[in-house]
Chain A
Amino acid sequence: MCTGRVDLSYVVRAFLNGTDGVFIGGCHLNDCHYNTHGNYDALGMVLLCKKLMDHIGLNPERLRIERLSSSEGIRFAEAMNDFCNTVMNLGPLGKGEGIDEKELKSRLEAVADLVPYIRLVERERLRIPFKSEEGYRKFFTSDEFRRLFDETIAEKLEMSRIISLLRERPLSTGEISRKLGLTPSETSRHLISSARHGLVRYEESLKAYALA
């Protein structure tokens, strides 16, 4: 199994379980023990996941990837100690960020639901130009990526969060906007689009949206 096999869903699941930090250790870049250079994919996943974490209000420092070889025991120990200190300083997941437990869970679930979609976006839209650590980091902080992220993933994430809210009970546009911190017009846009896809419907009797 390659670092590239570490799925976004695994990381999200770990956070859902309440872990305060996730560390991924793998081979050095360009020193792949398979032929695949899957460690670049792992790096891409981590950078994307950090962006998602940032988007839902989690500190991206809670996720770290380090490349180490089997002959670097001392470096490994240093990396682990350093990461542990970082996470300790951040405090418990959610509490450190000031998000309540239920809200955090709903946000993470929204991300988990989105994993298959993210894979499609990754394949169709995320074309990372250079196979170098710098290239990756540059790309994931570029305006182009930010735009893509907002257009595709962020958009869907909001829809996903609306749907998970509606799972509990029907809500009005206003209530949804308040809970998610969106403007009413953004919320309506997502609701109309979701209704068109047959995911939600408007309950006249309740004056609220409910799951279809």
Chain B
Amino acid sequence: MEKELEKIEGRLVKSLAGGNFGDVMVVGGGISGIQAALDLANAGFKVYLVEKAPAIGGHMAQLDKTFPTNDCSMCIESPKLVECSRHPNIEIMTYTEVDRVEGEAGDFTVTLVKKPRYVDESKCTGCTLCVEYCPVECPDQYNQEISKNKAIHIYFSQAIPLVTYIDESCRYLKGRTCTVCQGICKNGAIDFNQTTEKVEIKVGAVVLSPGFEPYDPKMMGEYRYGQFANVVTSLDYERLLCATGPYEGEILRASDQKHPRKIAWIQCVGSRQVNPGGNSYCSAVCCTYTQKQVILTKDHDPGAQCTIFHNDIRSYGKDFERFYQRAENLPGVRFIRSYVSIGREIPESRNVTLRYAAAGDGVKEEEFDMVVLSVGLTPPAGFKELADKFGIDLNAHGFCKTNPLNPMETSRPGIFISGAFQGPVDIPESVVTASGAGSQCGQLLAYRRGKLANERIYPPERDVSGEDPRVGVFVCHCGANIGRVVDVPSAVEYARTLPNVVHAEENLFMCSTDAAKQISSSIREKGLNRVVVAACTPRTHEPLFRDTLREAGINQYYFDFANIREHCSWVHSKEKEEATQKAKEIIRMSVARACRLEPLQEYDLPVRKAVLVVGGGLAGMTCALSIAEQGHEVHLVEKDTELGGMARRIHYTLEGLDVQAYLRDVIRRVYRHPLIHVYTGAAVMEAGGYVGNFLTRVKSERGVTEIKHGAAVIATGAEVYKPTEYLYGKDDRVMTHLELEERIAKGEERVIGAGSLVMIQCVGCRQEDRNYCSRICCSESVKNALKLKEINPGMDIYILFRDIRTYGFKEDYYREAAGKEVRFIRYDPHDKPRVEAVENEEGRPVLRVTVTDPILGKKLEIDADAIALAAAVIPSADSKETAGLFKVSLSPDGFFQEAHVKLRPVDFSAEGVYLCGTAHYPKLMPETISQAYGAAGRVLTLLSHDTVTASGSVCEVDEGKCLSCGACITVCAYGAVDFHDTPQGRKARVNPVLCKGDGLCNTKCPTGAIRLKHYTDEEILSQIDAAWDTPAEA
């Protein structure tokens, strides 16, 4: 067995090493690079993933949790890391930098410089014995240098690759005085003779995902970072929060290792600042990550006092507004809108004082135990050299110069970018652009897809049918997620006492590569034939563990997941003893079920290489074009009689693009593309089938068409709220922001010639019934204001706002507008502006706007000639119907709900269905375009395969028991069951391809003749019985 495995592994290594020749090189192994690599590898390309750090994972690996779901960051990223390392089409090269890129699109030669690790990667097992013995302590970079590590160490505990490296603090490297590690390593992996190595690799395209660098507050001395011990950055704080952090999840002060009780956050550190050392743009993520840190701090210490000193709160993303409210409503949390400066360090306590303007109370000085600087995002380190090496242009801020109509494109053809090198973005955007860059590589290299790719090879399956169950139980600490609440060692002890359990062990992270190796070797060495992992949720991690079983040579259905995190530690965090008891019970139930599991075979289903795109706006068209460019047929369905959607009403962008000209060009390309079939005036009547084989009936101007397709993309867009407020609809001088844009474009004199114009923000959203921010309106209003100032510089323009949310580089336009004397007046939602149609002193009819100016503290009256309302973006009217047809869900706000907010932002939970554009959430045009390419990239990961694998968990009939009553046939919504003739008469029969494994038929069969495999009565009843110590007789 062992030998066979080695042989297979050997074959894999050889086939990958073949000739330093690949399809795409992804440079940067953060979440964006990882996603790009996985998508491309899954779409049939051979990928080199190059990372300059000793392990992939990027900044996401340093985060404790992710907003707005507070998912554990490592928990969701780790499966992707593992997938990369296991993927036969990805070669990971860490501790490696790009030296130069020569050639052109389709034929690049990339020269890489591989830094010496002084450890032979192929020999190191990651046992970390050397780390224990190494005498040199040095600051741990992964932990923001708060704690120490050794000169030889593994970058972080779930690192891929899980091997050590030696850094420059090593005594041998400095003065050849110590070789302890060499003596201790049993595998002889330490190799001080390693030198910098140059490698040349030929690829057809490059995806550049170098990420960002957190702003260094030492650039501005007034922040006292590095001077005052208890001033930390938000990334430092992230490590303090984290179970794998410097103090194992305890928030401690550097000065005295005590818990800070009173903590202040300072927003916009290094962002939205024009003074030297700062950056003028908004870093886009800090408001929400601070709210996350506040919520987590309160989880750690419910008595903590948290104060956030902020400017505008920019909760512009999906579910961010609710997240903000959640943080704001916690007891002991204060949000203070004020400029703030750091005062002094109090010598005795090392506390830090802050000075700020208290509302109506003058300047106040207050003492805090700890101050967190919410630092912004800056371009990656060495961005200038990076740009030179790759031959690409940068923008004024040092980020990559991008094309707003294709944000993944650089100035050099064949080199694409994804992630935060585009500018400050959060994780979903980084993932979307990664998939989008992947799709564009696919467009470029479609001709060579699949030529270098390999399939995964597994060892043959061991037949265990004759064996008694031998269960192995693996209990995960999940960092502190489980371990802090559930007594894991005692759960392991308990598991050992359960019937049929022959092995039990624990691990800090069961999903790490070394744990997977451990499971796999336990299976082989201990002859396990059933595996129970007690950890998190099958939704994210089941595929990983099933794969581990396959690699260890047993059927993947011999696996059962005991969820002791979501079902236990997370909900019972305050009742540790009871939670431990419950965890044991969950494990007991899982073991009982595992003993009854049967080996199952999966089915390969053909994939129909055509795509249905619902919605012919910019999102749908862009997505359709990218898919069609890669050689697949696309059916584009638009309900209107013309293509273009909402973009038909948009005339220019903040960046100054002519939208209509671009739209005309896109529409022309869609109509001209031989693989795109356009259906206008169309409606989806019926949608059926399943991933790879959908069948949809569309009624359109062409009549009724039946479309067979393998994938579907929902790009049905959004609508604009029709206000009932502020005289809208009663006075035609009051219009929406979109109508204002249209009137400006038409050159309507009443608008462009107005003496005074007032814009009112947040009309119809950020309120109880629409509890979200429409994201685009601040930029839209600033855009219109700038346009009007350009046409009529003398016009008085007022923007009445709650928070100006010009995130990212859009901040520069906000500043420009303020500089052009557009007046921004903040209003309170409890004291909204009032609008009346009156005559002014001269008898001229005006719209009188009354608003309280918070700075002057008095009511202002503005006589306006026109008013523009920033009306909410709302879900399209037919969203609900569409969601029903395609079996996908909607979010509480009525927008389409993606499979995972962070890591699957354009996928639905329903396989084979994807989404893009404003159907997902309001977004600006460049974001919509990114997402459209992203969805195309995801579609291609499916369409690049000839088959998809269907679950083995389907129904089967025991003909001996079948009475031919037909109950199962009547109830099956998929038509998966029919009668067939047998010598014993007519019997029910299941078509496993059509069966979806819902198991409804099982509850209807009077004799129990039909059974859903993997969820049989025996399996479930044994689990139910095991819920009690002394179950009833079976």
Measured CB to CB, the residues of A under 8 A from B are: 1-2, 4-10, 13-14, 16-19, 30-38, 41, 45, 69-72, 77, 105, 116-117, 119-120, 122-123
Contacts and interface: CB of A to CB of B under 8 A. Distances in A.
The 8 closest A-B pairs by CB, nearest first: A5-B999, A2-B998, A36-B973, A35-B973, A4-B1000, A34-B998, A16-B1032, A119-B1006
B1027 A31 contact: no
A117 B1007 CA distance: 9
Contacts of A2: 998-1000
Contacts of B688: 35
Interface in B880-904: 884, 887, 889, 891-892, 897
B1012 A1 contact: yes
Contact of B1003 (A14, A45, A105): A45
Given A5-B1015, A13-B1024, A119 B1005 contact: yes
B1012 A41 contact: no
A178 B897 CA distance: 59
Given A7-B1017, A116-B1007, A35 B1002 contact: no
B967 interface: yes
Interface in B652-691: 688
Contact of B1006 (A4, A17, A32, A116): A116
B967 A17 contact: no
Nearest to B571: A77
A35 B571 CA distance: 31
15 contacts: A2-B999, A4-B1003, A5-B1002, A5-B1003, A14-B1024, A33-B887, A33-B909, A34-B973, A34-B996, A35-B996, A36-B971, A36-B974, A69-B889, A119-B1005, A122-B1004
B1025 interface: yes
Nearest to A4: B1000
A4 B1007 CA distance: 17
Given A10-B1021, A13-B1025, A5 B1000 contact: yes
A144 to B, nearest CB: 21
Contacts of B381: none
A17 B1028 contact: yes
A10 B910 CA distance: 28
B997 interface: yes
Interface size class of B (residues with CB under 8 A): 35 or more
B965 interface: yes
Contacts of A119: 967, 1003-1006
Interface string B414-433: 00000000000000000000
Main secondary structure, interface of B, reads: loop
B1003 A123 contact: no
Nearest to A17: B1028
A172 to B, nearest CB: 28
A5 B909 CA distance: 20
Nearest to B970: A123
A31 B881 CA distance: 11
A38 B909 CA distance: 18
A38 B998 contact: yes
Given A5-B999, A36-B973, 14 more contacts: A1-B998, A7-B1017, A13-B1024, A13-B1032, A14-B1024, A17-B1024, A19-B1028, A33-B889, A36-B971, A36-B974, A38-B1000, A105-B1032, A119-B1003, A123-B1004
B741 to A, nearest CB: 33
B1004 A30 contact: no
A17 B1003 contact: no
Contacts of B970: 123
Nearest to A16: B1032
Most chain B CB within 10 A, of A9, A32, A36, is at: A36
A130 B690 CA distance: 28
Interface in B1007-1028: 1007-1008, 1012, 1015, 1017, 1020-1021, 1024-1025, 1027-1028
B1031 interface: yes
Nearest to B319: A71
Contact of A7 (B997, B1003, B1006, B1007): B1003
A119 B965 CA distance: 11
A33 B967 CA distance: 22
Nearest to B1021: A13
Contact of A36 (B1000, B1015, B1021, B1028): B1000
Contact of B897 (A5, A32, A45, A71): A71
B887 A41 contact: no
A18 B1002 CA distance: 25
Contacts of B892: 71-72
Contact of B884 (A4, A30, A123): A30
Contacts of A32: 887
A17 B1025 contact: yes
A37 B1012 CA distance: 17
B1032 A5 contact: no
Most chain A CB within 10 A, of B967, B998, B1012, is at: B998
A91 to B, nearest CB: 18
Nearest to B1034: A13
A16 B1025 CA distance: 9
A1 B1015 contact: yes
A71 B891 CA distance: 7
Interface in B934-991: 965, 967, 970-974
A30 to B, nearest CB: 7
Contacts of A71: 889, 891-892, 897
A17 B998 contact: no
A166 to B, nearest CB: 18
A19 B1000 contact: no
A10 B1024 contact: yes
B1028 A18 contact: yes
Contact of B998 (A36, A45, A77): A36
A69 B888 CA distance: 12
B1031 A17 contact: yes
Nearest to A22: B1024
Contacts of A105: 1032
Contacts of B1028: 17-19
Nearest to A14: B1024
A123 B970 CA distance: 10
Nearest to B1004: A119
Contacts of B967: 119, 123
A69 B997 CA distance: 20
Contacts of B1025: 13, 17
A42 to B, nearest CB: 9
A1 B1008 CA distance: 16
B1006 A35 contact: no
Contact of A5 (B887, B974, B998): B998
Contacts of B997: 1
A203 B916 CA distance: 77
B1032 A17 contact: yes
Nearest to A32: B887
A72 B1005 CA distance: 33
Contacts of B971: 36, 41
A111 B1028 CA distance: 20
Contacts of A122: 1004
A31 B884 CA distance: 7
Contacts of B1024: 10, 13-14, 17
A36 B970 CA distance: 11
Contacts of B1027: 14, 17, 19
A34 B688 CA distance: 11
B352 to A, nearest CB: 36
A12 to B, nearest CB: 10
Interface in B812-830: none
B896 to A, nearest CB: 12
Interface in B894-925: 897, 909-910
A4 to B, nearest CB: 4
A14 B1022 CA distance: 11
A38 B998 CA distance: 8
Contacts of A69: 889
A29 B1025 CA distance: 29
A127 B495 CA distance: 47
Nearest to A112: B1032
